[in-house]
Amino acid sequence: MTLAAVLVIPLLLSGCGFVLEGEVARVVDGDTIELSHAGGRDRVRLYGVDCPERGQPYGAEATAFARRLAPVGGPVTVHVRFLLRDARNRLRGEVILPDGRSLAYELLRAGLAWHFRPHDAADPMLPYLEENARAERKGLWADPHAIRPSAWRRMRDRGETAPP
């Protein structure tokens, strides 16, 4: 193994990243935006949350909420959490709004996202905000049959229908 690999591989896997400043080019869905920045354009998957999918109950609401908070052309700062991209070639990061709020936190607070459990240890606010929204029956938590997006995708891919 080369010296460069010895030095770079731990950095890539460590979860540390970098900061991008730019403008929202597009809100793809509740948990994905396209960012236009000095280095080009990137898709960013919000760190720590999973919003309902398009076609899933509350998916349109999550997307509309994200568009209200992070409108096209609006400035945002992205704290990229992982240097490695996900399977869909998206950066994974925390999107910070101009007023300093986290878009992911606001989605959780509004009851329009599940927290992504593998990130609990790194950010204990994620489960806390979800539990508060759940207790207050906000957003998707008003639905006793709310299904995590990962389960909904599996059901959709198998041709099954979700419960009412």
What is the CB neighbour count within 10 angstroms for residue 89? 9
Burial string for 94-117 (b: 16+ CB within 10 Å, else e) reads: bbbbeeeebbbbbbbbbbbbbbbe
Separation of CA 68 from chain center: 16
For residue 139, what is the DSSP state?
G
Instruction: Please pick, among 21, 23, 26, 45, the residue that the annotation labels catalytic.
Output: 45
Of 23, 26, 53, 160, the active-site residue reads 53
- Is 90 a residue of the active site? yes
Amino acid at 97: L
* Residue 49, strand partner residues: 115
Q: Which of 26, 34, 43, 90 is catalytic?
A: 90
Q: What gap in Å lies between CA 135 and CA 43, rounded to an integer? A: 32
The residues that are catalytic are 45, 53, 90
